[in-house]
Structure 1
Amino acid sequence: MKKNTILFLTLMVSLSAFSQEPEWQDLFNGKNLKGWTKLNGAAEYKVQDRTIIGISKMNTPNTFLTTQKNYGDFILEFDFKVDDGLNSGVQFRSQSLKEYNDGRVHGYQFEIDPSPRAWTGGVYDEARRGWLYPMTYNSAGQKAFKNGEWNKARIEAIGNSIRTWVNGIPCTDLLDNVTPSGFIALQVHAIGDKAQEGKTIAWRNIRILTENLQAFRTPANEQVYQVNSVDNTISEREARDGWKLLWDGKTTNGWRGAKLDAFPQEGWVIENGILKVLKSGGAESANGGDIVTTRPYKNFILTVDFKITKGANSGVKYFVDTNLNKGQGSAIGCEYQILDDNVHPDAKLGVNGNRKLGSLYDLIPAPDNKPFRPGFFNTATIVVKGNHAEHWLNGVKIIEYDRNNQMWNALVDYSKYKDWPDFGNLESGLLLLQDHGDEVWFQNIKIKELD
């Protein structure tokens, strides 16, 4: 082969390799804060040794140093280091709008959390929905953060897919479509303890990739739990894992009235992908009535997104037998309580708070410090595996129990269910959404049956 031909081929290979190099853009010039704007709070930001340093300050709300440009799809990388005890984060696809809480910064946040909770790398929806992907979903990812050291973060936000890494370890896999574009911001969190004043959070090597993202996105890792927040959909990953929609977001297919052969003609409506039980005076199952699935379930993971209006009462029941109560009131089964704990009087009844939100109604209380998001949709998760059951709220387990044993039966004997034979010990049963006479919204009702 001629020498010129070899040189030409070598050049072509080199050009091909070069064309595949990512074209990173620096968001921080290492000298000053040109291109950044401070919003909401009065914490200080300074530049030192090619590093942005945020300094905590008393008597000021969360402070954000934001890019002056918005970004939609991107891969973002940065190094960060935080003083112990100081919570922080990096906003992305975030906004500050006059019509939303007078300009309050809101949107997705990459969490920086040096506390023992260890949720660094999780995704929080700042000033809006709260936790979208707490690190309870990924215990391996909780070990990635190194306290007191520099850490490397990566965020891939491409379409509806949001994934994060800390020090090369995958942390989150979230699908969400609420905000497709917005600025990036460095947060100095508000503090309430004078001892925390002057603590710092530092960022450096902040760079973003906005072109040819498919070529440089990280391959999927199906060992990382995926959270799909796109309303009433099943992702390809969920479908492979065995998840199915229990409600399609459009019709009443798969559901009927608990005391009817068909879906109720009144009391329930479907609007914009939301299934609503309408307000009718607060009585139990006195309007449209409860609705149940058209088939029973045995071992499963059930997720239901719910939103309550002020003072509302409702519930999600399982192991329901609609033949047990054909008279007035609700069908009988174990109940994941849905309640406005601050307003509804039922929160003060029962024993030790066992009628509050998330509790196994009238049997086992959920803790008061549960991660409820008032004014927004919350995700109730019920896990049943044989005689073991768990209640989760927004990704955090709040109660667990075992049934079909002496302790369970004794618990039932001191509850409102004592007169129902063998309550809660069914091998399988229907699933139920309760009409308790208050307006409550449901969506994203999904189930995965277990072996």
Structure 2
Amino acid sequence: MKAKIICTFLLVNFITLNMFAQEPVLKSAFNGKNLKGWIVPENNIWWSVENGILRAKSGPDKKGSILWTDKEYTDFVIETDFRYDEGTVDTGIFLRNDKEQIQMGISGSLKRDMTGSPYIVGKKYPVEAQNVKDILKPNDWNTIKVIAIAGYYEVWLNSKHVMSYTSDSYVKTGPIGLQLHPNTEMTVSFRNIKIGKM
């Protein structure tokens, strides 16, 4: 078991070093005009586009919603600008499925900002992103970058590394999702969404 953990650690480090040696080309995943390239939920009242900004706003029933890419990814980088606009913002980036995500905003369970931390169903928050309070700009645009290589996740917030975590329950391939959490009143904005395949 110990040997397996060491091998996994060495493999992840090798992949990470190789990744930085060959930074993937990030391509726009949001055209700033409409939701082309994304799977729009039925009877959509949550997601809208205006002036280059993708906005998610809670509906009257606080049902919540997930906006998924229409493409699936294995190893990838996603980078986006985001801004917490109104209410208690609880959002995140889903990583290939709805069981693992990078939290953005206030955790509904912990009642505090957990931006940049991984939320894993069954494990909750196994690690917490570091120094987010000092890095995050309230009521302004911020940039988050997430790298997913198999179950290895890394997060940068405003160009500063805040989190590394290796999941043993990851899904190999799937779409990337943006979350509008249910049971809350909130508005969050995204722009300059870019994705690169590793």
Which residue among 96, 113, 116 is the counterpart of 2:105? 113
1:144 deviates by: 2.2
1:89 deviates by: 1.2
Which structure is richer in relative contact order (CA contacts within 8 A, separation 6 or more)? 2
Q: Secondary structure at the match of 2:99?
A: strand
Alignment of 1:298-313 (within 5 A): none
Q: Deviations over 1:16-55 (max 9, x none)?
A: xxxx674221111111101111348954211111111111
1:90 deviates by: 1.6
- For 1:107, the aligned partner's letter is K
What corresponds to 1:69 in structure 2? Answer: 71
1:164 deviates by: 0.9
Count of residues in Structure 1 that have an aligned counterpart in Structure 2? 172
Distance 1:38-1:24 versus aligned 2 partners, 3 A rule: same
Q: C-alpha separation between the residues in 2 aligned to 1:168 and 1:23? A: 17
What corresponds to 2:95 in structure 1? Answer: 92
Are 1:131 and 2:131 matched, yes or no?
Answer: no
Distance 1:63-1:182 versus aligned 2 partners, 3 A rule: same
What corresponds to 2:181 in structure 1? Answer: 189
Q: Secondary structure at the match of 2:96?
A: strand
Q: Deviations over 1:339-367 (max 9, x none)?
A: xxxxxxxxxxxxxxxxxxxxxxxxxxxxx
Q: Secondary structure at the match of 2:124?
A: strand
Q: Secondary structure at the match of 1:174?
A: strand
Q: Which runs of 5+ in 1 are unaligned?
A: 1-19, 95-105, 212-451
Question: 2:76·2:197 contact (CA, 8 Å) conserved in 1?
Answer: yes
Alignment of 1:34-433 (within 5 A): 34-39=36-41, 43-83=45-85, 84-94=87-97, 106-114=98-106, 117-125=112-120, 128-135=121-128, 138-178=129-169, 179-192=171-184, 196=185, 199-211=186-198
Q: Deviations over 1:290-338 (max 9, x none)?
A: xxxxxxxxxxxxxxxxxxxxxxxxxxxxxxxxxxxxxxxxxxxxxxxxx
RMSD: 2.4
1:191 deviates by: 2.7
Q: Deviations over 1:374-395 (max 9, x none)?
A: xxxxxxxxxxxxxxxxxxxxxx
The structure that has the greater radius of gyration is 1
Structure having the higher strand fraction is 2
Distance 1:130-1:63 versus aligned 2 partners, 3 A rule: farther
Q: Which runs of 5+ in 2 are unaligned?
A: 1-21
1:107 deviates by: 2.5
1:132 deviates by: 3.8
- For 1:38, the aligned partner's letter is V
Question: 1:40·1:63 contact (CA, 8 Å) conserved in 2?
Answer: no
Question: 1:79·1:150 contact (CA, 8 Å) conserved in 2?
Answer: yes
Q: C-alpha separation between the residues in 2 aligned to 1:210 and 1:32? A: 23
Question: 2:75·2:197 contact (CA, 8 Å) conserved in 1?
Answer: yes
